[in-house]
């Protein structure tokens, strides 16, 4: 059994290279399993658990009938992170690993969370979210997921439009009403926006207007500046939360920065990964 827990004897972080892609520390089937977790997102932060450093360990071992068992431990920035998000990520991780054709027994456990016992028992018995919290009359988590998918789109849209405003002094906010996808410069921000639009089922052709609501409807021209401001507050929130959560994880689990990719949006000099040369979350997403 191979484990990837942080090595307590490792030299202090500053003496290590943060420029190593966390994925490359896994090989063979373990690497395949780790890569599969790239689609498991923290819905609020709009980033994969593999980029956030939430995968604490991943181990593979021979299973029955030629299959391979996988055991994954997840960790979160605080023990009081929201149980709904925690369950969502752990449940998704279990689903994608189970879907791999070579996996046998799949164990996903959430470590050191205030509701670890309940969540882990629910995952192990396959009772699902509603079954796990039956006493609380839980319904589906899909609306929660949809809310944050919309926020992720809003933030991606704002980044693209603010890029345009900063690049062109003559462009007014009202004029953003006329901006279409084809006007956006190629790059990470545009790629990210296209993916978020796809997730919402919105148009992705060059003629599609950029500043739209979650249903793809453009705003009346006079409301464009306000729509941009609202989108900006969403982007500020997503970036701020993402970096705060990443920072808290590093505080709670020393050395976990080695498991985090660099998030360029909202990055500040105090971030240990600020100068790292690892691919950013957005670059990685583009490569996938």
Tell me the window of 17-25, 34-42, 129-137, 197-205 that interacts with another protein (CB under 8 A).
129-137
152-181 residues near another protein, rule: CB under 8 A: 162, 165-166, 168-174
* Shortest Cβ 133–another protein spacing (Å): 5
User: Would you count residue 274 as binding another protein (CB under 8 A)?
Assistant: no
Nearer to another protein by Cβ, of 55 and 161: the residue is 161
Q: Which of 105, 114, 221, 275 binds another protein (CB under 8 A)?
A: 114
Q: Does residue 128 bind another protein (CB under 8 A)?
A: no
Region for residue 283 given its phi and psi (left: phi exceeds 0; alpha: psi -120 to 50; beta: otherwise): alpha
CB of 249 to another protein, least distance (A): 9
Binding positions for another protein, 81-110, rule CB under 8 A: 81-85
Question: In the complex, what is the shortest distance from the CB of residue 20 to another protein, in angstroms, rounded to a whole number?
Answer: 24
The answer to whether 69 touches 33, Cβ cutoff 8 Å, is no
Interface residue with another protein, options 2, 27, 204, 251 (CB under 8 A): 251
The two structure tokens encoding residue 207? 């003629």
Look-up: residue for tokens 């299973």?
63
- Told to check if 29 binds another protein by CB under 8 A, we report no
Per rule CB under 8 A, is residue 236 in the interface with another protein?
A: yes
Which two structure tokens, joined as six digits, stand for 144? 């929660």
Q: How far is CA 192 from the centre of its chain?
A: 12
- Residues linked to residue 212 through DSSP beta bridges, in sequence order: 218
Dist CA 140 CA 138 (whole Å): 7
Q: How far apart are CA 49 and CA 81, in angstroms?
A: 14
* 6 counts as binding another protein under rule CB under 8 A: no
DSSP-assigned letters across all residues of 90-154: HHHHHHHHHHSTTEEEEEEEE-S-TTHHHHHHHHHHT-HHHHHTGGGT---SHHHHHHHHHHHHH
Q: How far apart are CA 186 and CA 167, in angstroms?
A: 14
CB of 105 to another protein, least distance (A): 28
CB of 33 to another protein, least distance (A): 29
Residue in this structure with the two tokens 């920072």, named with its chain if needed: 247
Is residue 230 a contact residue for another protein (CB under 8 A)? yes
36 binds another protein, rule: CB under 8 A: no
- Find the binder of another protein among 234, 256, 260, 278 (CB under 8 A): 234
Largest pairwise CA distance in the chain: 67
What are φ and ψ of residue 71, in 5° steps?
-125, 125
Q: Which is nearer to another protein, 115 or 259 (CB)?
A: 115
222 counts as binding another protein under rule CB under 8 A: no
How many degrees, rounded to 5, is the angle at CA 38 between CA 64 and CA 36? 20
Q: Does 14 bind another protein (CB under 8 A)?
A: no
User: CB-side exposure of 181: number of CA atoms within 13 Å?
Assistant: 19
User: What residues make contact with another protein under the rule CB under 8 A?
Assistant: 44, 77-85, 114-115, 129, 133, 135-141, 143-144, 147-148, 151, 162, 165-166, 168-174, 225-226, 229-230, 232-234, 236-237, 239-241, 243-244, 247-248, 250-252, 266, 268, 270
């Amino acid at each position: 059994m191979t484990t990837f827990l942080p090595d307590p004897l490792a030299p202090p972080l500053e003496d290590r290279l943060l420029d190593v892609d966390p994925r490359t520390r896994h090989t063979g089937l373990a690497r395949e399993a780790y890569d599969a977790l790239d689609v498991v997102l923290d819905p609020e932060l709009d980033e994969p658990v593999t980029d956030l450093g939430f995968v604490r360990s991943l181990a593979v071992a021979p299973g029955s009938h030629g299959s391979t068992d996988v055991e994954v431990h997840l960790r979160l920035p605080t023990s009081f992170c929201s149980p709904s998000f925690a369950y969502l990520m752990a449940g998704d991780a279990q689903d994608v690993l189970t879907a791999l054709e070579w996996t046998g027994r799949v164990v996903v456990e959430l470590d050191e969370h205030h509701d670890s016992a309940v969540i882990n028992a629910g995952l192990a018995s396959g009772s699902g979210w509603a079954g796990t919290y039956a006493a609380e009359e839980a319904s589906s988590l899909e609306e929660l997921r949809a809310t944050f998918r919309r926020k992720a789109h809003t933030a991606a849209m704002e980044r693209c439009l603010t890029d345009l405003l900063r690049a062109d002094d003559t462009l007014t906010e009202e004029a953003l009403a006329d901006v279409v996808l084809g006007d956006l410069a190629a790059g990470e921000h545009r790629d990210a926006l296209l993916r978020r639009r796809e997730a919402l089922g919105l148009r992705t052709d060059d003629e599609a207007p950029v500043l739209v609501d979650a249903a793809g409807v453009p705003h009346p021209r006079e409301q464009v500046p306000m729509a941009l401001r609202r989108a900006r507050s969403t982007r500020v929130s997503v970036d701020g939360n993402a970096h705060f959560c990443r920072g808290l994880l590093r505080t709670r689990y020393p050395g976990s920065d080695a498991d985090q990719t660099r998030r360029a949006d909202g990055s500040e000099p105090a971030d240990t990964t600020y100068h790292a040369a690892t691919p950013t979350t957005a670059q990685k997403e583009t490569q996938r």
